[in-house]
Chains A and B, each alone.
Chain A
């Protein structure tokens, strides 16, 4: 098989990278190997677990089931691109506050799935939060606190002042 490498431009977290990739390379492997962005995790590599979830044009997708060569002209956001300078995204802050992880291996995927939800549904109800992470497995069993973190972050995004005030009274 000839299988030429293709010159591919990937826009990751607002930065364009030009890479020569085998067409069979998934976005997940391009991130982890070619760009050394290892925050996105590989677990099942078959679209069953959600650990590799990234945002493609703002929507949550499995990086393990996307061909990297098919990601040109799309804006990819990974866990590394979520914090602005030193300021954490409200979801990241909420995950710490709610103890929404133990080993942390599913965390990037969980956060990106919820980020996808908040992009589309800024004031989600609890059921929408749950449905946003139905595709993200957590073997440590941090689900309860993941939902709690989703709620905290959604409230923070919807009512930043109130949420901050509520925090300070704790």
Chain B
């Protein structure tokens, strides 16, 4: 399988990227390319031109900033996985994306812009209450992760915009990510990210999201509500995890890897796993 022909332009700065994008209507932006190249090979896209933003220095790196940490869009999963100043739920999820080859090349920005429903990071960013920073020729804007993922491979990104960075709050409590993965790609069949705070022995804040189940990362409001004010133990976590069926409704998707029924039936297990680990880290 080989891509169709295309022209290739490398942007060395954001401004250069925007002018190339304006110049070549229909062009696709490429960073790590781990989503785009396969789709070109399958000839699902024929953009005519690629604009490579992979070397734009201003989009790279991780910087702490008070109660949140900023991750540049071009930061690779491997770098996120090894970072010290990020919530554990995020670093462990990044460490289980694909395999080393994917983590060494794939970028955080590319991952969330692609918005694969089986991807891990959208779930984690949603649970952690991250903010997605977008930049376009007209300037910057920010969108809450929860609002950024809008559908199957759909996001709030608008024509001409790029993901520039992600701000991740670092004072949200203990966090964790659990998933059942497809053996070859390690995409999530079911993934759950959870973050909890415990004060005076009871859960004072909880944020939970699931992925792989519906068209995009879903916030688990019913699960969260069932946790608040409760001590976090096996029984309360199991009871809260069971609420995930409320959050999912009838929207669960099935595919070759697992039917909708199967996914729905095992979702509580991974919610409970993530909550248990998060609770143990909230300490």
Contact = CB atoms under 8 A, between A and B. Distances in A.
Q: Give yes or no for direct A-B contact (beta carbon below 8 Å).
A: yes
A23 B6 contact: yes
Interface string B93-112: 00000111110110000000
Interface in B22-48: 30, 33-34, 37-38, 40-41, 48
B20 to A, nearest CB: 14
B3 interface: yes
B78 A6 contact: no
A53 interface: yes
A1 B40 CA distance: 15
Contact of B101 (A23, A45, A135): A135
Interface string A35-63: 00000000001111010010010011110
A65 B6 contact: no
A124 B90 CA distance: 23
A61 B54 CA distance: 15
B235 interface: no
Contacts of A22: 5
Contacts of A131: 99-100
B100 A117 contact: yes
A132 B100 CA distance: 6
Interface stretch (A66-74, A75-83, A97-105, A145-153): A66-74
B167 interface: no
Contact of A67 (B8, B38, B99, B104): B8
Contacts, number: 93
Contacts of B102: 47, 62, 135
A70 to B, nearest CB: 6
A2 B6 CA distance: 8
B4 interface: yes
Nearest to A3: B5
A147 B102 CA distance: 20
A116 interface: yes
Contacts of A132: 100
A62 B100 CA distance: 10
B186 interface: yes
B6 A3 contact: yes
B50 A23 contact: yes
B99 to A, nearest CB: 3
A116 B100 contact: yes
Contacts of A62: 34, 101-102, 105
A136 B186 CA distance: 12
A67 B78 CA distance: 20
Interface in B203-229: none
B217 to A, nearest CB: 23
B186 A134 contact: yes
A50 B8 contact: no
A59 B4 contact: no
Contact of A47 (B6, B8, B10, B34): B34
A66 B8 contact: no
B7 A60 contact: no
B118 to A, nearest CB: 14
Contacts of A136: 99
B209 to A, nearest CB: 25
B99 A50 contact: yes
B52 interface: yes
Contacts of A2: 7
Contacts of B67: none
Interface of B: 1-8, 10, 30, 33-34, 37-38, 40-41, 48, 50, 52, 54, 78, 98-102, 104-105, 184-186
3 smallest CB-CB distances across A and B, nearest first, come from A135-B99, A23-B8, A3-B5
21 contacts: A1-B6, A23-B6, A23-B8, A24-B5, A24-B6, A46-B38, A47-B34, A48-B184, A53-B101, A59-B78, A59-B104, A62-B102, A65-B37, A65-B38, A67-B8, A67-B52, A70-B33, A116-B100, A116-B104, A135-B100, A136-B99
Given A47-B34, A48-B184, 8 more contacts: A1-B6, A3-B5, A47-B38, A56-B105, A61-B101, A69-B8, A70-B52, A135-B98
